[in-house]
């Protein structure tokens, strides 16, 4: 079923037998299913899987670099992501050992990439969901910026919808795609509409680039694409999202301003208007999350005859 992100399709890979340790095996993990649905045609900077440790006890979201990507820069960003804070941060908890093909992982949580969520819902998300999503992501970016970091990788696919709120993945995807000073337009895995113009031309990612990328991502959630015409956007979001998407970084709003606008209280967070809580998701998105969770609970990986080493953690 489309809604599951493909999880059910491989729920029965247990039948492949112990010979499955090849393309379906990465590091200490056996792959269960791909997280992303290629039918959404939205570029993803990583190859992402739901996978399970060989002892069957730990199910993870596993990320590998795109084919042709630089594994060293991929791992460097993954390493840096381990220290991310914020409500929707998704730090890596395990990384490939030196010399091993690159991967990083974090504990599995039922999650739908934003493009999959739109597909499941049957179109753009309700404005209320978009606002809640925007507030949660903006708050997370604000924490990150306070840590002195730039996310450099916000895009529709980087946003995972979970029952308790979104998760922001693909930390540093822009930096990993090409070093600063190298034009990044058209690189595989980078969704062009959410790549800030100054980063596309090779500039070093800075916080206001995250504001641009967030604006594009929220535009995607509200319309189905990252470069909408102005009048496609819900009227109440037009002004603020258009400002996020300004070519000149200095005219983009600050995150606090964005949070205020999305909360609908003009910037003061203690106003009477309630902030839509995170996790307020449409019924079919919840249904798809539950379906994915159930399918992964049911999935069984081939049991290795010898006890494998535990996942490496640095």
Partner 1 sequence: MPSPLTHDDPQAFGPYRPVARLGSGGMGTVYLARTAGGRTVALKTMHARIASDTAFRTRFRLETDAARVVGERYGAGVVDADPRAETPWFATEYVLGPPLDDAVELCGPLPEQSVRALGAALCGALGQLHASDVVHRDLKPSNVLLTAYGPKIIDFGIARAAGDDRLTRVGVAVGTPAFMSPEQASGQEHSAAGDVFALAGLLVFAATGRPPFGHGQAADLLYRVQYAEPDLTGVPSSLVPLLAQCLDKNPFRRPATDWLAAELHDGSGEFADHLPDAVLADIGRRAAEVWQIMPQRLLAPADEPDMAETVAPARWSRRRLLLTGGTATLAVAAAGTAGVWAWNERGGSGPDRPPAPGPSNRLLPRKRLDSIWQIQVDEDDLFEEVMQPGQLHVVGDMVVTVAPHLIGVTAKTGQRQWASNLMDSDWQVATDGERVLGLGPSDEGASSGKAGGDPLLVTSIDLLTGELNDPQVSLPEFNGELVGDQLVCTANGIAYVVAGRGKFVHSRFTANQTWYLFAVDLSTGKRLWTTPLPARRSGSVRLYFLSAAVVGRDLVALQEANDGTVHAVVRDTRSGAVRWDRPLAGVKASSVQLPLVTDARHLYLGAGELRALRLRDGRTAWESKSSRPGRTYGPPALKNGTLYAIEKGLGMVALDPGSGRVKWEEQGGQGVEADLKAVPVIGTDHAYSRRASKLWAIDLSSHAPTDSYRTTGNRFIAHEKSRTVISMGGNFLAAFPLR
Please report whether residue 55 would count as binding partner 1 according to CB under 8 A.
yes
In 3D space, the residue among 112, 88, 121 whose CA is nearest the CA of residue 223 turns out to be 121
- The contact mask relative to partner 1 for 93-132 (x = CB under 8 A, - = no) is --------------xxxx----------------------
Neighbours of 268 (CB within 10 A): 10
Residue ranges in 192-300 assigned as alpha helix (H)? 197-200, 207-223, 235-244, 255-263, 283-298
Please report whether residue 301 would count as binding partner 1 according to CB under 8 A.
yes
285 touches 161 (CB < 8 A): yes
How far CA 49 is from CA of 37, 105, 314, in Å, comes to: 11, 9, 21
What is the C-alpha separation between 285 and 290, in angstroms, rounded? Answer: 9
20-28, 73-81, 203-211, 292-300 -> range binding partner 1 (CB under 8 A): 292-300
Size of the site for partner 1 (CB under 8 A): 33
Least distance to partner 1, CB of residue 312, Å: 19
How far CA 52 is from CA of 60, 82, 273, 285, 310, in Å, comes to: 6, 20, 43, 24, 11
**Binder of partner 1 out of 274, 283, 305, 306 (CB under 8 A):** 283
Please report whether residue 31 would count as binding partner 1 according to CB under 8 A.
no
Please report whether residue 59 would count as binding partner 1 according to CB under 8 A.
yes
Contacts of 273 (CB under 8 A, 6+ apart): 263, 264, 265
Question: Rounded to 5, what percent of the chain is helix, strand, coil?
Answer: 40, 15, 45
**Binder of partner 1 out of 52, 83, 139, 175 (CB under 8 A):** 52
79-87, 143-151, 232-240, 293-301 -> range binding partner 1 (CB under 8 A): 293-301
85-93, 139-147, 222-230, 301-309 -> range binding partner 1 (CB under 8 A): 301-309
Least distance to partner 1, CB of residue 90, Å: 14
Would you say 246 or 287 has its CB closer to partner 1? 287
56-64, 73-81, 231-239, 258-266 -> range binding partner 1 (CB under 8 A): 56-64
**What is the binding site for partner 1 (CB under 8 A)?**
14, 52, 55-57, 59, 107-110, 162-164, 279-281, 283-284, 286-287, 289-294, 297-303
């Amino acid at each position: 079923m489309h809604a599951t992100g493909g999880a059910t399709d491989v729920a029965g890979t247990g039948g492949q037998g112990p010979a499955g340790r090849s393309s379906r095996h990465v590091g200490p993990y056996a792959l269960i299913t791909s997280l992303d649905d290629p039918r959404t045609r939205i570029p993803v900077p990583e190859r992402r899987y739901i996978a399970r440790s060989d002892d069957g006890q730990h199910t993870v979201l596993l990320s590998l670099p795109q084919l042709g990507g630089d594994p060293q820069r991929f791992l460097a960003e993954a390493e840096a992501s381990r220290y991310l804070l914020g409500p929707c941060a998704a730090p890596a908890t395990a990384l490939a050992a030196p010399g091993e093909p690159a991967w990083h992982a974090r504990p599995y949580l039922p999650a739908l990439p934003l493009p999959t969520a739109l597909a499941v819902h049957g179109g753009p998300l309700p404005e209320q969901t978009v606002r809640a999503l925007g507030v949660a992501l903006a708050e997370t970016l604000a924490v990150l910026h306070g840590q002195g970091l730039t996310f450099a990788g916000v895009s529709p696919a980087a946003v995972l919808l979970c029952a308790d709120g979104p998760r922001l993945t693909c930390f540093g995807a822009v930096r990993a795609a090409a070093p600063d000073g190298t034009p990044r337009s058209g690189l595989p895995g980078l969704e062009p509409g959410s790549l800030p113009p100054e980063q596309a031309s090779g500039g070093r990612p800075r916080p206001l680039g995250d504001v641009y990328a967030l604006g594009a991502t929220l535009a995607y959630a509200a319309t189905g694409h990252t470069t909408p015409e102005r009048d496609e956007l819900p009227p109440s979001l037009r002004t603020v999202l258009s400002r996020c998407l300004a070519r000149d970084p200095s005219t983009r709003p600050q995150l606090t301003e964005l949070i205020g606008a999305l909360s609908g209280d003009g910037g003061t967070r203690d106003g009477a208007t309630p902030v839509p809580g995170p996790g307020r998701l449409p019924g079919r998105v919840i249904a798809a999350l539950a379906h994915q969770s159930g399918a992964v609970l049911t999935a069984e990986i081939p049991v290795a005859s010898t006890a494998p080493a535990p996942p490496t953690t640095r």
